Structure 1
Amino acid sequence: MSVPHPVVLLVEDEPAQREVLAYNLEAEGFDVVSADNGEDALLLFDEEGPDVVVLDWMMPQLSGIEVCRRLKSRPESRGVPIIMLSARSEEVDRVRGLETGADDYVIKPYSVRELMARVRTQLRRTRAAAVGERLEVGDITLDAATHKVFRAGEELKLGPTEFRLLATLMEKPGRVLSRAQLLDLVWGRDVYVDTRTVDVHVGRLRKALCVHGGDDPVRTVRGAGYALG
């Protein structure tokens, strides 16, 4: 199995536009969850843990600007890239969007192809392995394109689940991920796996990482989960 598909939260109140964007995002290999208002967007964010948010500015109930402000004010969601979509083309509006915390600002009407490229650009910051990038944390190197892992220059033999687990931890070095989060990111949202399975595979990953010596780089945070480094 390969690294799970990145998840995009698409927030757009115009049905036709939402349908076109969802179709193109899925064609690019993304898993898409969508909302047509800001309140639902915040609930979906907490339920799905997306890798990127594509967010319309003008929406009923809660504006995109307010959704962006709330997400960027919370530690658990601050690092997730947000691409703001808006018909507002004045410099003052772009500045307001970016100052609120948006990582990119796209003016309507826009090229769908350009938007897909911008989504991939933002994704490289948080899910590098999912787009075939090379990851390096300390003396550990993971090459997603060749599916190889090295530590201090020595190649390691990892099973497919341990590879995905390591990639997920390396994409967020230092960040503590709960067992539930790891289940979603590594095994997928539609697969039922007991949380104790995470502990088993973390144990296998630790053994593989230390086969040639060196300290255990995987940190256990009691009651919270695991982190790399």
Structure 2
Amino acid sequence: MSELLIVSQDADYYLMLSHILEEAGYTTVLIDVPSEAVPAAVERDAAAIIVDCQPGSQILADIASALKQRGPASEILLIALVAEKTAYLDILKANVDESFTRPMRPQRLLSYLNSVIGVSPDKMPGRLMFDDMRLDAGGRRVLVRGEPVNLSPIEFRLLSALMDNAGRVLSRAELISIAWPQKAFVEPRTVDVHIGRLRRALKRALGRDVIRTVPKAGYAIDIA
């Protein structure tokens, strides 16, 4: 069974969450000293660190920084459970793999975990594009000619959405609903910024621009 570390200083919340997760087949461990989260995850070969994020807390940023120091080879997912009034910018800066706004439906978290945990990346079919670019959904990575392309979680989800709908124009509203947490306030201009970063990253790797801008409509990616 996949092990999940839950970083929280609220024992009641941990007990409730752990019961839900364990009923779904996961094992959980409470981490009440945040600085121990990453070392414990590495030692126990945990699949994910789930952080109970409270307003004004530095815990998520510290854990994200510790994971980043492990380099791109780290396969430990970082998931934020965001309490009301927590600054969304703090979550964005932490580059989490996924975030959920509390109160949340447990099924949303379970659906996400079931889709990304316990599946070996080398057994995932992935999706091929342009013959030399591959999006590995299970491993949450993009490879161009076998070399990884460094993308943020939001940029990865944007690319995944565009590839899932290759040739079709996706509006900014559609991209926001796919790539950002539910209930997050995102301006259309923010989509443009992230698409711009994604476009530059892919152009550096592929040597050509593969994202098409459709004025007043949105963006598309075309299989050549």
Task: Give TM-score scaled by structure 2 length.
Answer: 0.48
Higher Cα Rg, which structure? 1
TM-score (norm 1): 0.48
